[in-house]
């Protein structure tokens, strides 16, 4: 009897945690976010993933943060190389988000788009609205994700295109 009620309590707790995670995801879907392709290259190899969890920290020195899922296939590449480039997508680059945000092999992801490299060696995407070439300064524990604080060594901007935005679980143009 006692065991049964404990099990029920545990079940209730799981349900509450599941519900609160669902509520959180539903509320987060109301936050419109820029879509970025975060890339890296170096001794560990080349990799990239789609990311909306990118945020400015400071302009002096130029610093931004990226949240990276520890279970993602790009994780070991980014953390071992210690460098990354945040490429902010233009409205006409939605296909790249689908590729880099899905379970696609890395060479297939990079076969789309044109890439160059600057100081850190991380791939810069041609036609991106902005590119931030970065060295990772510190890595912080964010539970399922690592929070990467990055020194921006070069910022490149293009104001020619509209932006791609992720809002209510779909892509929009701004
Ligand atoms: C619109 C969008 C935004 C995403 N934002 C993030 C993010 O901020 N951080 C992250 O680690 N993964 C993010 N992801 C998921 C990664 O892109 C995804 O884990 C990865 O590319 C595919 O998984 P895999 O490489 O592990 O196979 C996002 C995906 C999409 C489609």
98-139 confidence digits (pLDDT tens): 999 999 999 999 999 999 999 999 999 999 999 999 999 999
- Do the bridges between strand 145-157 and strand 130-142 make them parallel or antiparallel, or are there none, so unpaired? antiparallel
- 65-81 mean pLDDT: 98
Say how far apart CA 64 and CA 148 lie, in whole Å.
Answer: 8
Nearest Cα residue to atom 19 of ligand 1: 72
Q: What is the mean pLDDT of residues 79-103?
A: 98
pLDDT for 9: 74
Strands lying side by side in the sheet with 33-34: 33-34, 164-167, 170-173
Instruction: Please state, rounded to an integer, the average pLDDT across all residues of the chain.
Output: 95
Mutate to test the pocket of ligand 1, among 32, 33, 49 (most ligand atoms within 8 A of CB): 49
List the structure tokens of 121.
Answer: 């060696």
Which residues contact ligand 1 via a Cβ below 6 A? 35, 49-53, 67-69, 72-74, 97, 100-103, 166
pLDDT, tens digit (0-9, with 9 covering 90-100), for 139-165: 999 999 999 999 999 999 998 899 999
Q: How far is the CA of 101 from the centre of ligand 1 (A)?
A: 5
Give me ligand 1 centre to Cα 124, in Å: 18
Rg over alpha carbons for the chain, rounded to the nearest Å, is 19
**Residue 54 and residue 33: Cα distance in Å, rounded?**
9
**Closest atom of ligand 1 relative to the 54 alpha carbon:** 8
8 Å CB contact between 109 and 99: yes
Residue closest via CA to ligand 1's atom 3 equals: 51
């Amino acid at each position: 009897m006692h065991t049964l009620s404990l099990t029920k309590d545990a079940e209730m707790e799981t349900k509450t945690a599941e519900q609160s995670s669902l509520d959180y995801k539903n509320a987060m879907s109301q936050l419109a976010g820029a879509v970025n392709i975060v890339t890296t290259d170096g001794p560990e190899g080349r990799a990239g993933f789609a990311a909306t969890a990118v945020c400015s920290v400071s302009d002096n020195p130029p610093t931004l943060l990226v949240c990276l899922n520890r279970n993602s296939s790009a994780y070991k590449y980014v953390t071992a190389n210690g460098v990354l480039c945040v490429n902010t997508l233009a409205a006409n680059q939605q296909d790249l988000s689908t590729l880099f945000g899905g379970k696609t092999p890395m060479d297939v992801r990079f076969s789309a788009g044109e890439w160059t490299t600057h100081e850190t060696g991380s791939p810069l995407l041609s036609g991106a609205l902005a590119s931030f070439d970065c060295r990772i300064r510190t890595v912080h524990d964010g539970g399922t994700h690592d929070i990467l604080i990055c020194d921006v060594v070069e910022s490149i901007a293009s104001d020619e295109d509209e932006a791609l935005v992720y809002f209510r679980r779909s892509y929009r143009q701004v």
